[in-house]
Every structure is written in structure tokens, then in C-alpha cells.
Structure 1
Amino acid sequence: MPAQGRDAGSGLLEGVVPALVLLAVAGGYLLLAHRARRHNPALGWSRRRTTAFLTGTALLGLALLPPLARLAHEDFRGHMAQHMLIGVYAPLALVLAAPVTLLLRTLPTARARQLSAVLHSPPVRVLAHPAVPLALSTGSLAVLYFTPLYNTTTHSPTAHWLLHAHFLLSGCLFAYVIAGPDPAPSRPGVRARLVWLGVAITAHSGVSQMMYGGFWVDIRAPVPQVQAGAEIMYYGGDIAELLLAAALVATWRPEPRRPTARQRALRAEGSAPS
């Protein structure tokens, strides 16, 4: 087959496969949401969560399909825009859709209990600590851009797709731990999560500023492209982290105050028979 024909076939496959996968994922979520409304009409399922999930899949489509997918192979600015969509914006929308809660509502009772047991297992408790997703998402940026790893992914389709998967999964995990409405086994309090979010903002800003200044960067691309990519990371990351902070505040609910020992004693005296 001529090289031009192979390239055309590869490009078609590159566009068709992600589109089919995203359509299947969106369709699966819509089917589960329909089941949740049918099984419990009084409780139903939030249309805002459904909209959030469809928004997340649309953002992934924007990132993984042409023209941005093609631009990402040719221009570092396109790569950075793609990275922000896959690793930051789409995960926030997908997590706010509460897919785990939807599964728990629609699975058979036995399967729902199994899923709940997995959520409370020790490995998931470790993953749910903010330090882990912070290291996987923001911490991995230094490994990607300050080592030859990024240049390797530009020449290896397998490494390129593995990088996409890493961005998406680590971004979803961080958004889930910080502001996800789904149940989390060992999620810290709101103040602690705000602190971890502040650490992520600082680290993200530091990496983008070092990239703009050319310190320790190992990216084979023209300097203007690298600097523009750093600006996309800096400002795009700030906006995304503000949205994440807003989601955290929006999903926060004050914990009920526990009565003191004196209050419990007074209640006991008041309820005692005279």
C-alpha cells in the first residue's frame, strides 16, 4: 500500500475509534441514568449530572479528534491544549457527573455491595489520599517535560495513547478526591482538601514558569511554541483549579456538631423519669 494510503487509513482509524468509544461511553451513561429514573421515579437522577458527563465526553472528543488531535502532533501548543482538555477540564466534568453513585443505584444489590466493598478496600483508601493523585497528575508533569519522555511519546503511538490515559485517569482521581460527589472512603475535610489544592496550584504554576523560562526543559520544539504552551498551562491551569475550588465549595456540606459531654449529661437528666 502506498505511504499516502497508509497515512489516510491511519488518520481515519485515529479519528473513528475514539469517536466510537466516546459515543459508547456517553450512551452507557444515558442508559444508566434512564434506569435510575425508571427504578426510582421519586429519587430520579439529576439532569445537571447528566449534562456534566456529556460535557466531559464532548471535551474529550474535542481533544482526541481532528483538528486538535492532528495539531497536537505538529505543534507543542496543540499538545498543551490537548493535555489541558484531557487531564484537567474533562475529568472535572466527568467526576461531577457522579458515575460511581449512578452505578451503585442501578447495579443489582449484590454487585452494588461488591463495588462498595472495593471502594472501602485498603488500596482504594491509599489512592484516595490527596498526595497520591497530586503526585500522579501534577507531579508527573516534571517527569514528562524535564526528561526525554515527551520526545519519546511524539514518535511512539503506543506511548502517546498511554500518556492520554495517564492524563485522564490521574486527572479524574484528583478531581474525585478534591471535589467529587461520589463516596470516598478516607476523603479528608474541606480545609485539608483546600490545602492540597493550593499545593497543586503552586506546583502547576512552578512547572509552567520553568517551562517558559527554559529551565531544565527537554522539549524538541521551537522556543516560541514552548513558551506559548507554558502560557496555556499556566492560565488554563489557574482557571481549571478555580473551577475545582468552586466545585469543592458547592459540594461541601457542614458536618453536624457532636454534643459535648456536658450536653449529653444534661440531656440524660432531662429525659430521666422524675
Structure 2
Amino acid sequence: MAGTTLAAGYSGPPAWQWSDLVTSWQLEPVVLAVSVVLAALYALGLVRVRAKDGKWPVGRTAAWFGGLALWVWSTMSGVGVYERILFTDRAAQVVTLLMIVPLLLGMGGPVSLLADAVSERGRERLLKVLRSWPSRILMFPAVSTALLMLPPWLLYFTPLYEHTLTSQSWNMGLHVVLVVLGLSYFWPRLQIDPVAHEYPQLVGLFITMAEVVFDAGLGILLVYGHTTIAEHYYDALNRPWGPSVRQDQVWGGCTLWALGDMAGLPFIAALVRRWMVKGRAETAAVDAAIDAQIARQREAAASAKATAPEGAPLVTATDDDPEMLRPWWLDDPNLAHRFGGGEKA
């Protein structure tokens, strides 16, 4: 970050402008290196899947590379340049790294791609790891939710926040840790990739509502609370432009609140879409099973008719044989009450 002396005691970037989001840049070596490696590995997985004559959704590929690009942009563009100068800038970055980047990476389905790219033996090993007890604990809803909800509170109300402002290593670590924590939440919630245990999608919706409440609580506390976060650090910058330290925190709290809620909307949309796709698949499977059962019953009836002695009475479906072609919805616990089912005649 090139320093520009604008006032006595201040050496930093000039006054922030919207154009800085695309014109101001800095190098963040850790994020850049990790992103390049992950992009290369994903591309290699695509090549191996296609070599097996397999198909991979274009949407997942776009989500993965979009997530990596957003990760780089949020740490190396103007957002990164001003991350230790403006509280508001850091707040927007925290939401992006914790919620938006991991969501896109999770929608990329990297573990599913890995499972399709490796050998059958490698796939079995991967699934064995995913079913292990550490994986089950990490993906348990209460644990994965805590990994998403608690980090912002710990960051802003412990010395961690000021460490990320004063130490380059702590700052780069924050860029990576937030993404890892966010991904540990979205992976089991989206259930695009294999998970240790599948939980109902409705659980994800309830958790998202709770997360909205936590975001609102943190934002309200930053806006209306009497504590100014890292006040001595920001005062020492002696920044001659922009909002006051207190006003900057108010704007940052509003940003954290609003952007956090907005970031949850794509996740809810992804959950609902996943829910609908899974519902259609389950319905198709049930219908196929019913069709197969009907076909077997008809074949059995035709066979019995063909082998029956001449003049012998034919066995047909009667009230004494209620299972013969009984509509499945009359016995379904979720639908029987609508159609007067539940009790067999």
C-alpha cells in the first residue's frame, strides 16, 4: 500500500472514493497463492472428470471461480487497501469473507468434484473420512452454526480485532480463517457435497433465521453501544479525511447488519432450490417404485390367468385383497388425512 502524507502524523492512502474499489490495489500473497492453487486443483479435477466422459455443471464451476475471484478482490482491491484505515471497510470485508466467499465456494461442490475425479478406491477413502467422528462433530448443526455466528463477536469484542490492524501476519491470517470458518458452515448446510449426516433442509432455514438475529444484535451493539472499537488505534492514525472514528463505527455497524442480512438471501435461495430438487427426486423415486409394483402385480395376474385350469375361478382384486393397486397416498402419513385414508378397508 503506497503511503501518501496528507497531514502531519498521517501516512496512508488518500481519501476513499468509490473508484478505489477497482483502481486501488495491493498484494496479499497468502490469499493469492491459495487461490491460484485451489483454482489449479479444481481445473485438474474438471479435466479428469471429462476424461472419464463425465459431466460437471457449469453453474458449479462458475460459483467456484467466482468465489476465488471475490476472495482475491476483497483482500487486494481498494477493500484491502483501506481495511486497516476505515472501520466500515473492514466490516464489509468481514461479511464478504465469512459469508459470501464461502457460500460461492460451497456451491462449487469441490468435494463432489474430487470424488468424481479420483479412483473408486480413492472415493471410498474420501467417504470414510467424511463419515468419521471428527467430521460428524464438525458438521453437527450446532457446531457449524457456532463457527459462523461467534467469529464476528469474538473479533470485535476481544483484542483480536486490534491485532489484525497492527500485525500483517494476523491480518493475512484473518483473510484465510474467516473463509475456512464460513465454508465449514455452508458445506453441511448446502449439502451439495457429501456430508457426514444429512439433516433436513428446514433445519438450515431455521438456522439462517437465527443467524439474522445474531447479525442484527451485533450491528445494533456497534451502532448504539457506548464502546468504540480500537479507538486508540484509529485516533493514532490521525486521518484527516472521512468520518470521525465514532461515525465510522456507526456506518460500519450498519454495513455489517445490512450486508450480513443481504448475504443470507442467496443462501436461502440455494436452500429452497436444493429442497425443491430433492423433493422432485424423491417423488420420482416413489412413483417409479409404485409403477414397478403395479407392473409386477399385473404380470402375476396375467401369469395366474394363463396357468389357471379351464373353468377355474379367477382371482381378482377384491375388498379382501386391499393391497392390490391401493393408491399410495392413502397410506402416506403426510397425505392420508386429506383423502380419508390411513385405515385400510
TM (norm. structure 1) is 0.84
Supply the distance in 1 between the matched residues of 2:263 and 2:86 (Cα, whole angstroms). 22
Give the match for residue 52 of structure 1: 63
1:27 is displaced (CA, Å) by: 2.3
Distance 1:170 1:18, change over 3 A: closer
- 8 Å CA contact 2:98–2:179 kept in 1: the answer is yes
Q: For the Cα contact (< 8 Å) 2:129–2:135, is it kept in 1?
A: yes
Q: Paired residue for 2:48? A: 35
TM-aligned CA deviation for residue 155 of structure 1:
1.3
1:238 aligns with 2:249: no
Supply the distance in 2 between the matched residues of 1:129 and 1:36 (Cα, whole angstroms).
Answer: 30
Match of 1:22 in 2: 35
CA contact (8 A) 1:35 1:106 kept: yes
The answer to whether the Cα contact below 8 Å between 2:107 and 2:192 also exists between their aligned partners in 1 is: yes
Following superposition, the deviation at residue 178 of structure 1 comes to 1.7
Partner of residue 147 from structure 2, selected from 97, 116, 136:
136
Structure 1 position 164, deviation (Å): 2.1
For 1:154-165, what aligned pairs fall within 5 Å after superposition? 154-165=165-176
Q: Find 1:226's aligned residue among 227, 242, 249.
A: 249
Contact 2:91 2:255 survives alignment (8 Å): yes
Give the number of the structure with larger relative contact order, counting CA–CA contacts within 8 Å between residues 6 or more apart.
Answer: 1
Any conservation in 1 of the 2:26–2:81 contact (CA below 8 Å)? no
Q: Does structure 1 conserve the Cα–Cα contact (< 8 Å) formed by 2:147 and 2:181?
A: yes
The equivalences for 1:1-274 within 5 A come to: 14-40=27-53, 43-215=54-226, 218-220=229-231, 221=234, 222-252=245-275, 253-254=278-279, 256=282
Q: What SS is found at the alignment partner of 1:73?
A: coil
**Aligned letter for 2:250?**
Q
> Tell me, which stretches of 5 or more residues in structure 1 are unaligned?
5-11
Identity %: 25
Count of matched residue positions in the alignment of Structure 1 and Structure 2: 256
Greater shift after overlay, 114-123 or 130-139? 130-139
User: Residue type matched to 1:37 in 2?
Assistant: R
Where is the helix percentage greater, Structure 1 or Structure 2? 1
Q: In the alignment, is the contact (CA less than 8 A) between 1:15 and 1:66 conserved in 2?
A: no
CA distance in 1, matches of 2:132, 2:166: 39
Q: How far does residue 18 in structure 1 lie from its aligned partner after superposition?
A: 3.2
- Are the equivalent residues in 1 in contact too, given 2:105–2:183 (CA < 8 A)? yes
The whole-number CA distance in structure 2 between the counterparts of 1:122 and 1:137 is 21
| Alpha-carbon separation, structure 1, partners of 2:227 and 2:168 | 25
3-state DSSP of counterpart to 1:74: coil
Segments of 5+ residues of structure 2 without an aligned counterpart are 5-24, 235-244, 305-314, 316-345
Indicate how the Cα distance of structure 1 residues 216 and 127 shifts in structure 2: closer, same or farther if over 3 A, else same. farther
More off after superposition, 22-31 vs 44-53: 22-31
How far does residue 14 in structure 1 lie from its aligned partner after superposition? 3.9
Shift of 1:97: 0.5
Q: 1:212 to 1:187 in 2, by over 3 A?
A: farther
Amino acid at match of 1:246: A
Distance in 2 between residues matched to 1:135 and 1:97, nearest whole Å: 23
Deviation, 1:148, is 2.4
Q: What is the rounded CA distance, in whole Å, between the counterparts of 2:173 and 2:191 in structure 1?
A: 24
Paired residue for 2:308?
none
Q: 1:20 to 1:144 in 2, by over 3 A?
A: closer
Superposition deviation, residue 13 in structure 1: 8.8
Post-superposition shift, 1:19?
2.6
2:41 aligned partner, one-letter code: G
Contact kept? 1:32, 1:102, Cα under 8 Å: yes
For residues 212 and 93 of structure 1, do their structure 2 counterparts lie closer, same or farther at Cα, with a shift above 3 Å needed? same
Pairwise CA RMSD: 2.7
Matches of 2:180 and 2:31, distance apart in 1: 16
Deviation sequence 1:213-232 (CA, Å, 0-9, x none) = 12556333411111111111
1:178/1:38 CA distance change after superposition, 3 Å: same
